[in-house]
Amino acid sequence: MYQIYPRAFADTDGDGVGDLRGVTASLDHLAGPPDSLGVDAIWLSPFYPHGGVDGGYDVTDFTAVAPEFGSLTDIDRLLAASHERGVRVLLDLVTGHTSDRHPWFAAARASRANASRDWYLWADPRPGTAPPTNWVAAFGGSAWTLDEGSGQFFHHSFYPEQPDLNWRNAAVREEMANAMRFWLDRGVDGFRVDAIEFLIKDRRLRDNPPAGPPLPPWSPEPGGLRRRWTRNQPGVAGVLRHLRRVTDEYPDRVLVGELYASARQVAAALGGGRADGLHLALDHQLAKSAWDAKAFRRAIAAAERHLAPPLSPTWAFSNHDLSRHATRWGVERARLAALILLTLRGTVCLYQGEEIGMTDLVPAPGPGPDGARRDRAGRDPARGPFDWDEAARQRSDHESLLAFYRGLIELRRRAPAVRHGTLSLLRGLPPGVLGYERRFEDEKLTVLANMSHRRTVVRLPSGHANTQLMATDVDQVHPTGGTVELDADHGVVIG
């Protein structure tokens, strides 16, 4: 799967903002011709009309296209062109909140008596004018904003301009189901479901407790509080089952959720053994990890434990919210990162530009070309314009990073062991080396990744075949006589 952030992907009308026609015009880069990347699906970040506050994640209309991105006709064309190449198209379903400029919120805000008041989360101040709870928003500050007109606070998990929807309200569930059907009827293949951890908040509005001992790296808790009553509440599973039921009204569609959580919580979002929740859930534990073989090993082991078949993990190293991994871990590690990512068990999601080694960019000062505000949470560096000149250069260079990604994707396609085999972590490797075996029926492949700073010799398990299938650097790695020598930041797939 390949994530497209449309604003920064391809601009066909020269207004400085990417558009849907740009995506359609760029499909050759993604799939089709032999020198394309070869992805199976794309996920489009939001292109809906929006309030200009959260990069499109502050939606004012769930069933329309913002004029700067194009029109519904452009979506239909993109769907047809993608399907012609066998590429599935997933949209971003922003379920947790709307923009404060959405007509639903305008109506809810207008008066306490309004029928749709309960579509959002309102609460009276604590004695005086204090917010109803101590809850903190993901981007800082109180998660409550006072609505002067009614004297009540409304809740927002993110920016104050993004009031949270009340998923306990049946009308909200039905409206969102209708928005889904609107797109599914048009032929969309599924959704990436935004920020599912925050869909339900404690009904009793209990204060979050202070954060205790060190928390896992993938859930930095804001304001020194543990999000005990605001994150991954039991009711989330019911909402996901509802979304799944709507999706299942259509054949062969998929729901991929976004969450930053432990493998155990990811399994819960998939509906556990009942598998009646999301089909897939993006696992950000590696994305949030340091470049460290032990840490990678731990995250992969957790996925094997909690997401054993029929469940499976969905891995990504980068997205529009995180600093790009070529910046976080270093450009010199981009090849080894790709080798690891694309040989893991499960589904892989790439973020536009990682295949050509894009790093974070320093955004120019002032408002964006579309007048949209700069991201207050500081995520613009990962949202720089796709470098098409670099992509064109790499396309014709068979030693480029792009060619390496293409080769790895091709290996996934061709080798059942990588596509759907089991994964067993190898033990007893030299420090700093990550290794695992992928196996399907008689086919067995071994992945070795030297994540350390030193050249290292790895002894292969006895009786191991040693055909080199992929290597980060063809000149350096030669499996001979049961050993493989790996330079720092190099790795190999052998079979």
Any idea which residues carry the catalytic annotation?
A: 194, 249
# residues near ligand GLC by CB under 6 A: 10
SS3 content of the chain, % helix, strand, coil (to 5): 30, 20, 50
Smallest gap from residue 192 Cβ to ligand GLC (A): 9
Contact 66, 47 (CB under 8 A): yes
What CA–CA distance (Å, rounded) separates 401 from 387? Answer: 14
190 closest CA partner among 104, 82, 322, 262: 82
Q: What's phi and psi for 111, nearest 5 deg? A: -160, 155
- Binding part of the chain for ligand GLC, among 53-61, 202-210, 280-288, 345-353 by CB under 6 A, reads 53-61
- Identify which of 494, 360, 489, 476 has the alpha carbon closest to the alpha carbon of residue 432: 489
Token readout for 339 is 């080798």
Least separation in angstroms between CB 349 and ligand GLC? 12
Are 387 and 357 in contact by the 8 Å Cβ rule? The answer is: no
Report in angstroms how near the CB of residue 59 gets to ligand GLC at its nearest.
Answer: 9
Q: Which residue in 74, 321, 360, 380 binds ligand GLC (CB under 6 A)? A: 321
Structure tokens at 265: 């919580």
Q: For ligand GLC, which is the closer residue by CB, 194 or 380?
A: 194
With contacts defined by CB under 6 A, name the span among 50-58, 118-126, 414-422, 487-495 that binds ligand GLC.
Answer: 50-58
CB 53 within 8 A of CB 111: no
As measured in angstroms, the least distance from the Cβ of 493 to ligand GLC is 31
Q: Are 7 and 46 in contact (CB under 8 A)?
A: no
CA 136 – CA 144 distance, rounded (Å): 8
Instruction: Please tell me whether residue 241 adopts helix, strand or coil conformation.
Output: helix
**94 sits near ligand GLC (criterion: CB under 6 A):** yes
Question: How many separate helices (H) and strands (E) can be counted in the chain?
Answer: 13, 19
Give the nearest distance from C-beta 258 to ligand GLC in angstroms.
Answer: 6
In the list 57, 104, 105, 229, the residue contacting ligand GLC (rule: CB under 6 A) is 57
d(CA 260, CA 269): 11
Nearer to ligand GLC by Cβ, of 260 and 386: the residue is 260
Find the part of the chain contacting ligand GLC (CB under 6 A) among 36-44, 51-59, 228-236, 361-369. Answer: 51-59
Residue placing its CB nearer to ligand GLC in the complex, 96 or 385: 96
For ligand GLC, the closer of residues 293 and 350 by Cβ is: 350
Which range binds ligand GLC by CB under 6 A, 52-60, 232-240, 352-360, 389-397?
A: 52-60
Q: Give least dist CB 316 to ligand GLC, A.
A: 11
Looking only at the bridges linking them, the beta strands covering 190-193 and 254-259 are parallel
Among 161, 194, 197, 283, binds ligand GLC (CB under 6 A): 194
- Residues 367-426 touching ligand GLC, rule: CB under 6 A, are none
**Which 246-265 residues touch ligand GLC, going by CB under 6 A?**
258
Amino acid of residue 80? A
Sequence-distant (6+) residues with CB within 8 A of 353 are: 324, 384, 386, 387
Per the document, the length of the chain is 495
Taking residue 113's Cβ as centre, other Cβ atoms within 10 Å add up to 7
* Binders of ligand GLC in range 195-254 (CB under 6 A): 195
Contact with ligand GLC (CB under 6 A): which of 158, 191, 218, 315? 158
Q: Which is nearer to ligand GLC, 54 or 354 (CB)?
A: 54
CB-based closest residue to ligand GLC:
57
Binding residues for ligand GLC, per CB under 6 A? Answer: 54-55, 57, 94, 158, 194-195, 258, 320-321
